[in-house]
A = this chain, B = another copy of it.
Amino acid sequence: MANTLVFGHKNPDTDTIASAIAASYFLNQIGNDTEAVAQGEPNAETQFALDYFKVAAPRVISSADTETVVLVDHNEAAQSVDNLADVTVEGIYDHHKFAFTNATPLYITAKPWGSVATILYYEFKQANIEIPSDIAGLMASAIISDTLLLKSPTTTTYDQPALEALAKIAGLTNYEAYGLDLLKAGTDLSSRSDKELIDGDAKSFEMGGHQFRIGQVNTVDIDDVLARQSGIEAAMVAEGYEDFLFVITDILNSNSKAIYLGDANQAIESAFNATLTNHVIDLPGVVSRKKQVVPPLENQF
């Protein structure tokens, strides 16, 4: 067994899985003994990428059974393994806001870029370590996923060159066509239950005393999802969170609507400068939870 586990956040997405695999490979190349693992099974989009590049899904863990760990794509304890406090975090690669406390000095490479895969691409380049083509394909998929094919406002000037270089290594001659297929693979929601829908990508946030749950799904037709509103709301209520915002994002037109359940209607309306009608709020132009949903909520709470 490896000395150190490398893993991303709960409800893994493509960037979390790809970055764990890429970071583990990178760390092993520079002399460490690590294994990439995951806090859950790949979602449909990630599975599409794994199948395409013929990479096995990482082993699923619920707690770390090594003394040391490396976190990718998250740093907050609420998004990490349950026994995080009992292990030593030796390193972090992340692109989110920070809420991290530990007892010993560690390695952190954080940059406010589109994906952790982007950050890792430049780490490989700097260290002059070759990226295997299958891992490059996963990293390219992660950039496509997190930046919605470079259209999300989270996209930085670092992401496009990284995506182009990785696509070349991976032998993706038309990354835009591949990217649309990848994103669409994540939007086939018909086979997913209401509970699976709201849990799929949900993250917990602590905001001014409120326990805030924020889920998000990508789709090519928001109305398709809203047709299931009553079932989705029942599933949201069943989870028992104080506040639950479920964001439904149209990845083709870069718009969202969100269902909100909680006791802070007015704060939600102020945060997004729009009106809640039948629990639904219109979020034109919004595609990024990190950049366009969490910050206005944090300002309110």
Contact = CB atoms under 8 A, between A and B. Distances in A.
Interface of A: 95-112, 126, 290, 295, 298
B112 A110 contact: no
A84 to B, nearest CB: 13
Given A106-B112, A108-B108, A112-B107, A99 B97 contact: no
A101 B77 CA distance: 12
A99 B89 CA distance: 13
B109 A109 contact: yes
Contact of A110 (B95, B97, B108, B290): B108
B107 A97 contact: no
A102 B226 CA distance: 34
A295 B106 CA distance: 14
Contacts of A99: 100-102
A241 B254 CA distance: 54
Given A96-B105, A105-B110, A108-B108, 6 more contacts: A95-B105, A97-B104, A99-B102, A100-B101, A105-B111, A107-B110
A102 B98 contact: yes
A98 B108 CA distance: 10
Contacts of A98: 100-102, 106, 108
Contact of A112 (B96, B104, B109): B104
**3 closest pairs, A vs B, by CB?**
A105-B112, A108-B110, A99-B101
A107 B104 CA distance: 20
Contacts of A104: 97, 112, 295
A106 B156 CA distance: 13
Given A98-B108, A110-B108, A103 B290 contact: no
Interface centre among A97, A98, A99, A295 (most CB of B within 10 A): A98
Contacts of A290: 105
Contacts of A108: 98, 108-110
12 contacts: A96-B105, A97-B103, A98-B100, A98-B101, A99-B100, A104-B295, A105-B290, A106-B110, A107-B111, A107-B112, A108-B109, A109-B109
Contacts of A102: 97-99
A173 B104 CA distance: 35
Nearest to A90: B112
A139 B148 CA distance: 43
B97 A295 contact: no
Contacts of A109: 108-109
Contacts of A105: 95-97, 110-112, 290
Contact of A103 (B95, B110, B126, B295): B295
